[in-house]
Amino acid sequence: MSGIAFLVPYEPEASSLKEILAPYPEVHVEFFQLNEHDQAIAKIIEQGYEIIVARAGTANRIRQSGLKLTLVELQIMHVDIIRAIEKAHMLGDKVAVVAYPPMMHGINSLMPYLNLSFQQYLVDSSDAGLEDTVLRAARDGANAIVGGGLICQAAEKNNLPSVYIATGREAVLQALQEALRLKEAIDAEKVKRRLFSAILDYVHDGILTVDCEQKITSINLRAQQLLNTTPLLAAGQPIGKFWPGLSLSELIRTRQEELNKLVQIKGQKLICNKVPLLANGKLNGALVTFQEIASIQRAEAHIRKEMYNKGHVARKTFSDIAGKSASLLRTITLAKEFAATSSNILIVGETGTGKEVFAQSIHNHSVRQPGPFVAVNCAALPAQILESELFGYVGGAFTGANKEGKPGLFELAHGGTIFLDEISEMDYTNQSRLLRVLQERSVMRLGSDRVIAIDVRVIAATNKDLKSLVRSQKFREDLFFRLNVLKLELPPLRERTQDIEQLISHFAAQLAPYRSLAFDAAALRTLERHSWPGNIRELQNTIERLMASCQSDTVRAADIEGVLEKWDSDIAAEANHASLPASPLPAPRGSFFDEEIAAISAALYAAKGNLTEAAQALGINRTTLWRKMKRLGLQINNGVVEKC
């Protein structure tokens, strides 16, 4: 904040001022010898004082120096002059007052009321001829001189008695009050300037202002960086000194703004805006703002990324999973335990069992919940596109690539979770790249040599037997072990039919909250007997069809049969061609056969190829058995159960 200093060239007065100003510790009194005027002012400025209080002579010299200081002139009151004249009459009978005109203003009007005689000698503000004026007074018969420090000094030099016009307490306090008011105003203005400067320095645009002569009046931090200067070096300098190609002459002449102009400085391309600064219709200069095109492009890329990331949000939680069967509750409990870890998770389940719902719920139940949830279906994109989507690319990495490049989904998932659905469909090349990402915890964009560190949890999902794919060399074994750290198996709907009624209510409320459908007992039994090869997704579709087609508010078995997919009859037709007696498959050899294949083979052998009896022995229905045989690649050929 600004400080106040009293400059005094007369030592007795300096002592008097210090006594008067003692209650104001923030005010400094500086005594200086008359021949050390310049050094005294330099010292005051160095100490940070901006408001100077001085008598007329000292104030005049400061003004003439051109220094940008706030001056308060310490006025000499008439009573102070009268006191000095009274003292001078004790030294001589002819008193001459040598002073600056402002000091003597109005004193003549008091003379008729005073029993004092003196002669006035006025000097100008340049201090030139002070000594000559004193000598002239002496020639006129004066034998005592009254005046300021320089005048008394000139009198003493010529052996003339002199009396210094001391500043009275009233004048000192009056000057102090004016200085304090100025200090308050200056400090308030400083706060405003600093706040405004902080705002300007924070923005990414370069901002500067010039006066009507195109000289810089202010410049923010970004403009300083672009023009390679500082406020101290730039202030008051022509803008052309730092930016030769920028001309504001036309704008100052026409007062017409120029917006979004492409300009160049030191090899950098900029977008520049020029605006006239008008106040009360008067032109005060111009405002220039500019920004690097490269910066604009980076900002655009960031905005696009942020907009892209808005879609990467997990909206499902465990509370969205409807059902209360023991198998489902066990699965939810296990999933919550997995969520508390940072390990990779492999979710295994048939189509439509809700693998992504579980993945989102795990993410939202984990410490990564504030981060992004990025989902990608590995079967939905060709291998090359999947590679660029997962790992990103730099500009020009391949034909048709975005010139600015593009961050990959792993980058966008930083700090969160990436969900790789249908991981079994990923090609071998991308499997290798994915393995490296999991090992190194970093990615390298296509066409780049720069490694980008990432912090991402991977949840993969599949409806296929990855072990079989590993055995057939369609899936990397090392990647399988990287993904299969924690394994979550989702139960199919046919194994938790007791959840169907709750799922019906859940989907009905979502699909048509305005309509209430009731299911009679026969309808519920029909739904529970259905094999649900499409699982929960198929049930949801069924409820949606019922909402659209059912004429009554009560759903009956006939309504259900009318909208169910005809899976059972189709499979039964195929099964009729394969009802030959069967013999069991050989006992498991190595890792080619698993326990499920052996169990199905044994059941078919015992049932002599009868699918219905084999299904009953296994505790499943005929449709489920046939579907399992197709999934595992089993067929009955000439009475033998074998792999297709």
Condensed to tens digits (0 to 9), the pLDDT of residues 339-360 reads 999 999 999 999 999 999 999 9
Beginning with the edge strand found earlier in the chain, give each strand of the sheet holding 258-265 in spatial order.
216-219, 206-210, 282-292, 268-279, 258-265
Whether 567 has a pLDDT exceeding 70, the answer reads no
Q: What is the pLDDT of residue 613?
A: 78
Residues in the chain: 644
The predicted pLDDT at position 588 comes to 39
State phi, psi for 33 to the nearest 5 degrees: -75, 150
Dist. CA 207–CA 275, nearest whole Å: 11
Q: Which two three-digit tokens encode residue 330?
A: 């066990």
What pLDDT does 640 receive? 60
Nearest Cα to Cα of residue 7 among 149, 163, 181: 149
DSSP H or E stretch at residue 613: helix 611-618
Is residue 433 over pLDDT 60?
yes
Provide the Cα torsion 486, 490, 495, 499; round to 10°.
120
| CATH 3.40.50.2300, the chain: domain bounds | 3-75+171-181
Ranked by mean pLDDT, the top range of 134-143, 150-159, 502-511 is 134-143
pLDDT at 578 over 60: no
Domain 496-565 CATH class label? mainly alpha
- Write down the pLDDT at residue 597: 78
Mean of pLDDT over the chain: 83
Backbone φ, ψ for residue 61 (5° rounding): -65, -35
DSSP 333-386: HHHHHHHTS-S-EEEE--TTS-HHHHHHHHHHTSTTTTS-EEEEETTSS-HHHH
Rounded distance between C-alpha atoms, residue 618 and residue 613, angstroms: 9
The residue that leads in pLDDT, 623 or 216, is: 216
May I ask the CATH class of domain 570-643?
mainly alpha
Among 195-209, 262-276, 308-322, 509-523, top mean pLDDT goes to 262-276
Query: What burial class does residue 485 get, using C-beta atoms within 10 Å of its C-beta: 0-12 exposed, 13-18 middle, 19+ buried?
Result: middle
Q: Where in the chain is the domain with CATH 3.40.50.300?
A: 318-489
Q: What is the pLDDT of residue 300?
A: 55
Where does the pLDDT of residue 365 fall: very low under 50, low under 70, confident under 90, or very high at 90 and above? very high
Q: Which of 279-293, 448-462, 547-561 has the lowest mean pLDDT?
A: 547-561
The residues, ordered by sequence, that sit 6+ positions from 110 with a Cβ below 8 Å of its Cβ are 78, 82
Q: Is CATH 3.40.50.300 the right assignment for the domain spanning 318-489?
A: yes
C-alpha to C-alpha distances, 105 to 77, 101, 517, nearest whole angstrom: 10, 6, 104
pLDDT digit string, tens, across residues 285-299: 999 998 888 777 666
Rounded to whole angstroms, the Cα distance separating 9 from 30 reads: 8
pLDDT at 572 over 50: no
pLDDT of 257 strictly over 50: yes
Give ranges for CATH 1.10.10 in the chain: 570-643
What's residue 366's pLDDT? 94
Region 71-82: mean pLDDT is 85
Instruction: Kindly state the average pLDDT of the residues 421-438.
Output: 92
Q: How high is the pLDDT of residue 644?
A: 62
Task: Name which residue leads in pLDDT, 421 or 587.
Answer: 421
Q: Does CATH place domain 203-296 in 3.30.450.20?
A: yes
Q: Residues 90-140: pLDDT tens digits?
A: 998 999 999 887 777 767 767 667 777 888 898 876 666 788 999 999 999
- Give the model's pLDDT for residue 592: 35
Mean pLDDT throughout 377-391?
85
Least confident segment among 7-16, 19-28, 106-115, 245-254: 106-115
Under the banding of pLDDT at 50, 70 and 90, the label for residue 419 is: very high
Beta bridge partners of 98: 121
Record the pTM: 0.46
- Tell me, what's the pLDDT at 311? 64
Report pLDDT for 467.
92
Output 414 or 631, whichever has higher pLDDT.
414
Please name which of 163, 172, 149 lies closest in space to residue 19, comparing C-alpha atoms: 172
Domain 3-75+171-181 - what CATH class? alpha beta
Burial of 142 (0-12, 13-18, 19+ CB in 10 A): buried
Q: CA–CA separation, 146 vs 135, rounded Å?
A: 13
CATH homologous superfamily of 78-166: PrpR receptor domain-like (3.40.50.10660)
Q: What count of other Cβ atoms lies within 10 Å of the Cβ of residue 99?
A: 25
What's residue 329's pLDDT? 94
